[in-house]
Structure 1
Amino acid sequence: MDLKGASRQDLLIKAEEATNQEHELTLLQAIKLYPKAVAWSVIMFAALVMDGYDTKLIGSLFAQPAFQKAYGYRQPGGSYQISAPWQTGLNNGSNVGQLLGLVIGGTLSEWLGFRKTMIIGLFVAPCLVFVQFFAPSIGVLQAAQVLLGLPLGMFQTVVTVYALEVMPVCLRSYLTSYNNMCWVFGQFIASGVLRGFLHFENPWAYRAPFAIQWFWPIPLVIGVYFAPESPWWLVRQNRLEDAKHALRRLTSPRNVDFDINKSIALMVLTTEHESEINSSTHYSACFKGTDLRRTIIVIGCYCMQVLSGSTLRAYSTYFFEQAGLPTEQAFNLSIVTYGLSLAGVLLSWLLMPHIGRRTLYLWGLLTIAVMFFIVGGLGIPQAASPRTALAWTIGAFLIVSAFVSNVTVGPVSYSLVAEIPSSLLRSKSVVIARFTYACLNIIANVITPYQLNPTAWNWGARAGFFWGGACTLGLLFTYFFIPEPKDRTTAELDLLFEKKVSARRFPKTEVHLSEVEQESSLGEREQIGLSQLTSPSYPEGRST
């Protein structure tokens, strides 16, 4: 069927066929059809290793003797400690920078596209690592943390949205949750590097871990430069021929059953329908109509990572040390923690397509809350009379909580944040959600050092009570607000939100793209834009 001058009914037919094709794709078929999309997404996500590495690096350096001596204050017993205010400032430095980086990334990605925005961030990051590496004082190190947060915030905006937009429905959960794996992988590398330099007594003990951050941007810039742009972004720019070319680069030419025109038609229909519902693409549009509910959900999903204790786990090495374990064993346990966390993400890939996002969220938060309350309970006798057995038990529960978090809350958060927003407001919704997360993380980074630091509140393991209560709040939010988007296309999710279906009824409610027919016609843009969908050089179906 030629789409030149196609009627709205013809467009709907093609979009329905594309939707049915997505639903019929098995995992193996999707991988065979989209192998290049998977590869390009993996390259994009590699930038998030830097974020996980930096987050773990600073929190763990507080327990490293050489770093404590270089930037800390001498204690009465002869040891050195970074004071709680400076711990707070250093951990929040990256988050403060990310607040601005998120906005910059969201604006640039809509203006320049995802590829160019990533390239800009990857060129800026190595320059800022120089400031971190040569920091002569803790104040300069603080400034370096803030500046480095700028490109890290840009990466957060871009990569999750890009992966969602180049993937079919059955691959979305795997690739968007890969975000979490990269973050954990960065933390795992940081733990191993710091363990290797633990017994160094000169500045290289902490400068060498800083210098390793120069490695990532170089190969990533090359990979991102050759990556295709998101077809959805090109459709939003009304560059339909470029969108077809990008989609052709993302899919395998050997699959003759795949129809590029139908997939582009679905993107056009979804984009136009969302424009009719809310023509504005400003940040304010995220807080109007059905998009308000979607924005609240994605904000809650990102904040759930903090509520489930990610900040406490970022301090795990320092936490283990304050719980009574030797410094060397504290670093060893951190490596074990992040090794199990990586295994947890792999397990989530097996569970998410079958169990669903919402169910994993609920059970994950419930389990983590129970474990934190146990940790808090064990912290009471440990504070009164420290014992090695209690310290190891507390450490074991924290390790298991990290594993459970990375099976459930961690990877599922990234899938939900990418899937829930409308296609028109996806980048802006991610910016708003991540911005809120960064603000909450700043608060968490303020109170966590005070909870653990012996020169401040000195709660130690009793901090588990606080984070158990936070998990309980997240559990209530999940039950009443977070729906199940599994196996739904963007267009189907649009209709479910427009019909105001409750979160608990999402899986059982049927919707059909023919319901779009009830909306106003596409108007003049349909006549102009849709005529670009087919040209003599691109016959219907796959063309190479």
Structure 2
Amino acid sequence: MKSPSHEQVEITAATDPPLPTEFAHDLSSGELHGRAIQQQEHNRTYWQTLRSDPKLLFWIGVMLWTMGVRGFENQAGGSVISITEFKRRFGQPEPSEPGEYFIATSWQSAISGSGNAFTILGATLASYFVDWFGYKKVVLATTALNLGSVGIEFGTTSVGMFFAGKMVNCIAVGSYLNLVTAYVSEISPLAIRASVIGFCNLSQCIGPFIASIMSYYTAQWDNDWSWRALICAQWGFSVVGLAGQIFMPESPVYLVRKGKMTEARAVLGRLYSDPRDADGHLERIKLTLEGEPNASGGFMDCFRGTDRRRTLVSIFVFLAESMSGLGFVGNYGALMYQYLGISDRRSFLIGIGAQILSMSGATLAFFVSDFYGRRTMFLWGCISVTTLLLCMGISGSVNTNAATLASVGFYTMFNFFYNFGLGSGVYAIAGEIPTFVLRNKSLAIAMNSSNAVNVMWSFVCPYIFNPGYGNLKARIGFVFGAIMALWSVAAYYIVPETRGRTYEELDELFVNEVPTRQFKNYVTVAERRAAEAYSAEKKGMDV
């Protein structure tokens, strides 16, 4: 690990002796304070951090609110094409059932499958534009795109027009996913970092819950507002978010990267209550950027040197989303309930209950992720989801009413266990692992990998579980359960513990190629320097 003011110092064991006290004398006052701030971050407890800088938490909240659009759009888009009035206006007559209408299968496949592809496009474009224009401008442009695309959906006169509006909206959604996760990762305090990054997952659970309740009532209306109400409700998320985005501070990391130190200091002054903290965090960011491996910020850099391992870890954890069957549960939940003999109305109510379980799991993860660690949560999540899916497959193999009810229960409980163990951890790990320079690109690659696999599953799953084809029904749990069993084993060797690590420490751990299972207890040069600087500053050392 290369420090901006010192030769490279290699450490190979957690038992290395402390740095000599003369170390602090060699530092400039700025670097001394920057390293002392790193130790201050280590020293602050979870609750102290929550109380110390309310302005910082407010701006994190503004960005997390923005993420709610993604979950609402996903749920609302799927619900709209199943609403009777929408099918009557834009669908075709059902030959076998006079008076009934349906949306052509080709359009259904396009609407459900193509959204992931356009989300990939949005995340990729955002990762480029943010390097040129910064977070604030790109977020505002994304919100404008979202507002306009919802307008297209709202005023649609054909299925094709609805499809076009939805795909443009998916570009905005992909952009939000990348920008919000990266922005929150960069400005979050150390003690609560996993909680606030993991809130990206909770934000996406709230949207579907609201959309499910709305569609339950609006679907019964006998006019166009039965589907238009769902669409225009997205403006509520966007307009409220826009009110905060107009005034949001730019990422101080972006400003330091561009050499705009005065602007970066002014932004930090808006985020931190104590001016000394703002000064120290400016130095901390400079130290981290100067010590990172050289990279131009392109996609290929994500697969060079030590960044290759970091990118592969991010891809691996994000693939847990698609490999666990999350896309299947989200897209085909109502259909699965019907195949298990549950009525339409009852399956819809169970779906609302499933959304409550999702929010409960994500909320619980929000409170415990910073206490038990990311690796522990992710491993537990993989194992619990594996067990649940295999149980669903077993109950689905038994042809009794009790077994059917058990399958419904396991299938519904997936929402809780996934969001508690995996959903929040995925964002926390993938948000923390990359370097400052490559964070947006690495996140785009990881998110796009997951979305690409979800596109595959969206076309494959119907052939696996539908009658007339694979006809697995609940036995599809064996498929995803077997995959997640492999994921559980691989995670033990791949996913490191990042809890309590500053970004400079993480850089050092990867540069020194520390084995995955040693991340938790490995003592870095950066943390020893931080402890020495903090001690020297406390003693009022004359440097």
TM-score by length of 2: 0.87
Distance 1:260 1:43, change over 3 A: closer
Q: CA deviation at 1:313?
A: 2.1
For residues 442-461 of structure 1, what are the structure 2 equivalents within 5 Å?
A: 442-454=455-467, 457-461=470-474
Amino acid at match of 1:261: D
> CA offsets per residue over residues 217-241 of structure 1, 9 Å max, x none?
2221121111111111111111112
Q: Structure 1 segments of 4 or more deviating over 6 A?
A: 514-517
Distance 1:345 1:440, change over 3 A: same
Work out the CA distance in 2 between the residues paired with 1:267 and 1:167: 13
Say which of 479, 489, 497 aligns to 1:466.
Answer: 479
Give SS of 1:324's match: coil
Distance 1:303 1:81, change over 3 A: farther
- Alignment-derived partner of residue 298 in structure 2: 282
Given the alignment of the two structures, is residue 366 of structure 1 paired with residue 383 of structure 2, yes or no?
A: yes
Distance 1:75 1:322, change over 3 A: farther
The answer to whether the Cα contact below 8 Å between 1:34 and 1:167 also exists between their aligned partners in 2 is no
- Alignment-derived partner of residue 70 in structure 2: 51
Q: CA deviation at 1:158?
A: 0.7
- Alignment-derived partner of residue 23 in structure 1: 42
Structure 1's unaligned 5+ residue stretches are 518-539
> CA offsets per residue over residues 201-253 of structure 1, 9 Å max, x none?
44433232112112222221121111111111111111112111111101124
Work out the CA distance in 2 between the residues paired with 1:185 and 1:72: 33
The answer to whether the Cα contact below 8 Å between 2:433 and 2:506 also exists between their aligned partners in 1 is yes
Amino acid at match of 1:118: V
Distance 1:456 1:60, change over 3 A: farther
Amino acid at match of 1:411: S
- Alignment-derived partner of residue 243 in structure 1: 264
Given the alignment of the two structures, is residue 264 of structure 1 paired with residue 277 of structure 2, yes or no?
A: no
Q: CA deviation at 1:262?
A: 2.2
- Alignment-derived partner of residue 499 in structure 2: 486
- Alignment-derived partner of residue 408 in structure 1: 421
The answer to whether the Cα contact below 8 Å between 1:25 and 1:170 also exists between their aligned partners in 2 is yes
Work out the CA distance in 2 between the residues paired with 1:160 and 1:307: 21
The answer to whether the Cα contact below 8 Å between 1:311 and 1:448 also exists between their aligned partners in 2 is no
Larger mean CA deviation between 214-223 and 179-188 belongs to 214-223
Give SS of 1:216's match: helix
The answer to whether the Cα contact below 8 Å between 1:133 and 1:210 also exists between their aligned partners in 2 is yes
> CA offsets per residue over residues 464-494 of structure 1, 9 Å max, x none?
2222123223223311211010000000000
- Alignment-derived partner of residue 378 in structure 1: 395
- Alignment-derived partner of residue 334 in structure 2: 317
The answer to whether the Cα contact below 8 Å between 2:192 and 2:370 also exists between their aligned partners in 1 is no
The answer to whether the Cα contact below 8 Å between 1:63 and 1:317 also exists between their aligned partners in 2 is no
Larger mean CA deviation between 24-33 and 490-499 belongs to 24-33
- Alignment-derived partner of residue 123 in structure 1: 144
Given the alignment of the two structures, is residue 306 of structure 1 paired with residue 311 of structure 2, yes or no?
A: no
Amino acid at match of 2:423: G
Say which of 512, 526, 529 aligns to 1:499.
Answer: 512
The answer to whether the Cα contact below 8 Å between 1:12 and 1:513 also exists between their aligned partners in 2 is no
Structure 2's unaligned 5+ residue stretches are 5-23, 531-539
Work out the CA distance in 1 between the residues paired with 2:70 and 2:325: 18
- Alignment-derived partner of residue 186 in structure 2: 165
Work out the CA distance in 1 between the residues paired with 2:479 and 2:165: 31
Amino acid at match of 1:49: G
For residues 70-89 of structure 1, what are the structure 2 equivalents within 5 Å?
A: 70-71=90-91, 74=94, 76=96, 85-89=106-110
- Alignment-derived partner of residue 33 in structure 1: 52
- How much identity, in percent, do the aligned residues show? 27
- Alignment-derived partner of residue 445 in structure 2: 432
Work out the CA distance in 2 between the residues paired with 1:63 and 1:454: 20
The answer to whether the Cα contact below 8 Å between 1:63 and 1:321 also exists between their aligned partners in 2 is no
> CA offsets per residue over residues 340-389 of structure 1, 9 Å max, x none?
2111112112321222111111111111112112222233345xx7x4x5
Distance 1:84 1:307, change over 3 A: farther
Give SS of 2:246's match: helix
The answer to whether the Cα contact below 8 Å between 2:85 and 2:223 also exists between their aligned partners in 1 is yes
Distance 1:339 1:8, change over 3 A: farther
The answer to whether the Cα contact below 8 Å between 1:88 and 1:449 also exists between their aligned partners in 2 is no
Q: How many residues align?
A: 505
Amino acid at match of 1:74: E
Please give the root-mean-square deviation of Cα atoms over the aligned residues, in Å.
Answer: 2.6
Give SS of 2:458's match: helix
Distance 1:269 1:73, change over 3 A: farther
Q: CA deviation at 1:259?
A: 3.2
Given the alignment of the two structures, is residue 174 of structure 1 paired with residue 195 of structure 2, yes or no?
A: yes
Larger mean CA deviation between 293-302 and 451-460 belongs to 451-460
Work out the CA distance in 1 between the residues paired with 2:141 and 2:497: 35
Give SS of 1:259's match: helix
The answer to whether the Cα contact below 8 Å between 2:196 and 2:366 also exists between their aligned partners in 1 is no
TM-score by length of 1: 0.87
Q: CA deviation at 1:457?
A: 4.5
Distance 1:516 1:18, change over 3 A: closer
- Alignment-derived partner of residue 535 in structure 2: none
